[in-house]
């Protein structure tokens, strides 16, 4: 298995695709997706375009859908949800499809949606992602951070490092064997330094600071937890992710 880390969707190669691609948007899209599926949501369908989201979701019965829209960290007017995983209770989401569009995370998923295997990962479901990779042993894995409007983000990179670090530890591979690019070593180093204070790292992150200004400290606390959800969010058709029960 060769792992490649890309800090933003724009940095991924355009002339090739991996056997498995993983989108990461810890704050907060992929954390929300994992939470919804773990709470019994039927599926998560992602959109970069809000108008298209409205058009497609209108074809679903109102009681079977939820719309989540976020721009700049805030909820889009007219949507039931923004992008907070804490709002996604089982009472609200069970049996429903979440139609979601966010500033960064949905763009990452759309960039990689043509790969044979597409996953959505966050710190909260890291162990499930690692277990899947160890079982399937894909030859090439891209971990694609969402970043913030095209730029590097600490929280997505530390999650990529958390995934790569766990695989590195459990396979007894050398870093040279595992790492497909330099970013893998740097992501693992970031995780190794901050693994016992991920919330502290989020306070250093520009998007973490942005969410703190929006009074979202509880979201940061929740998203900084590791391995609390036993759920794998896997793409079943382009843009549609469902839970794969292990």
pLDDT at 246: 39
What counts of helices (H) and strands (E) characterise the chain? Answer: 11, 10
Query: Domain residues of the chain, as ranges?
Result: 2-41+103-244
Q: Which helix (H) or strand (E) holds 34?
A: helix 29-38
Residues 93-119 pLDDT 10s? 999 999 999 877 788 998 999 999 999
Q: How many residues are there in the chain?
A: 246
CA dihedral for 178, 179, 184, 186, sign (positive or negative): positive
Q: Which residue has the tokens 């695989």?
A: 167
240 touches 36 (CB < 8 A): no
pLDDT at 245: 62
Q: Is the pLDDT of residue 237 over 80?
A: yes
Distance separating alpha carbons of residues 110 and 238, to the nearest angstrom = 8
Residues 116-158 pLDDT 10s? 999 999 999 999 999 999 999 999 999 999 998 789 999 999 9
pTM of full prediction above 0.85? yes
Confidence of residue 220 (pLDDT cuts 50, 70, 90): very high
* Sheet with 43-46, edge to edge strand ranges: 2-6, 140-145, 20-24, 117-121, 233-237, 240-243, 43-46, 97-101, 65-71, 74-75
Residue 209 Cα to chain centre, angstroms: 19
H helix runs in 59-153, sequence order:
90-93, 105-112, 126-136
Distance separating alpha carbons of residues 56 and 49, to the nearest angstrom = 11
Pairing state between β 233-237 and 117-121: antiparallel
Tell me which of 97-101, 104-108, 214-218, 224-228 is least confident: 104-108
Identify the residue with better confidence: 103 or 35. 35
- Determine what percent of the chain is predicted with pLDDT higher than 70: 99
What's the token pair of residue 220? 């940061």
pLDDT at 150: 84
198 touches 224 (CB < 8 A): yes
Among the listed residues 220, 21, 207, 6, the one whose alpha carbon sits nearest the alpha carbon of residue 114: 21
Distance separating alpha carbons of residues 148 and 153, to the nearest angstrom = 6
For the residues 203-225, what does the mean pLDDT come to? 96
pLDDT at 71: 87
Q: Is the pLDDT of residue 82 over 60?
A: yes
SS3 4: strand
Write down the architecture of domain 2-41+103-244 according to CATH: Alpha-Beta Complex (3.90)
146 touches 9 (CB < 8 A): yes
């Amino acid at each position: 298995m060769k792992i490649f880390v890309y800090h933003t969707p724009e940095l991924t190669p355009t002339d090739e695709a991996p056997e498995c691609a993983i989108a990461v948007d810890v704050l907060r899209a992929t954390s929300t997706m994992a939470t919804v599926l773990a709470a019994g949501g039927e599926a998560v369908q992602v959109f970069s375009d809000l108008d298209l989201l409205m058009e497609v979701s209108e074809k679903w019965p109102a009681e079977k859908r939820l719309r989540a829209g976020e721009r700049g960290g805030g909820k889009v007017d007219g949507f039931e949800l923004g992008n907070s995983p804490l709002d996604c209770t089982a009472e609200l989401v069970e049996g429903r499809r979440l139609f979601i569009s966010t500033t960064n995370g949905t763009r990452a998923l759309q960039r990689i949606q043509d790969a044979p295997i597409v996953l959505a990962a966050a710190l909260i479901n890291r162990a499930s992602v690692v277990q899947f990779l160890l079982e399937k042993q894909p030859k090439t894995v891209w971990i694609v951070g969402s970043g913030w409007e095209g730029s590097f983000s600490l929280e997505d990179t530390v999650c990529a490092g958390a995934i790569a670090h766990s695989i590195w530890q459990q396979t007894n591979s050398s870093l040279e064997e595992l790492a497909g690019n330099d970013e893998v070593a740097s992501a693992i180093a970031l995780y190794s330094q901050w693994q016992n204070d991920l919330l502290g790292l989020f306070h250093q992150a520009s998007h973490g600071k942005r969410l703190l200004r929006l009074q979202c400290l509880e979201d940061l606390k929740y998203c900084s937890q590791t391995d609390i959800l036993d759920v794998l969010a896997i793409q079943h058709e382009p843009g549609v992710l469902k839970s794969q029960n292990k």
